[in-house]
Amino acid sequence: MGRRVALTLLAAAVLAGLSVAAMGWGWGAMGASPMTVHGWIALSIGAVGTALLTAGLMILAFHSHRSGHDDRVEPTELIDERIRRRF
């Protein structure tokens, strides 16, 4: 892994940590009851799950594009002809 990628990942992790801390501060500043440990665990699982789902879907999109699954099956002329027949 290159140094640039590692620094980018580190910056993203720091930003995510600061976001969670700011959210916790904001929650307390609103006068709401403090979050319990279970609340923080649920929040963490939700955030990590969302990030993993996003990464997985992006990986599938790139894999699909690189493997040729997104290529057209039939020539464009046939598709254009079918569209003209409908209208």
Residues 60-85: tens digit of each pLDDT:
988 888 887 777 665 666 666 667 77
- First CA to last CA distance, the chain: 54
Give pLDDT tens digits for 10-35: 999 999 999 988 988 888 888 777 77
The whole model's pTM is what?
0.50
Q: Is pLDDT above 90 for 50?
A: yes
Helix H or strand E segment including 5? helix 3-29
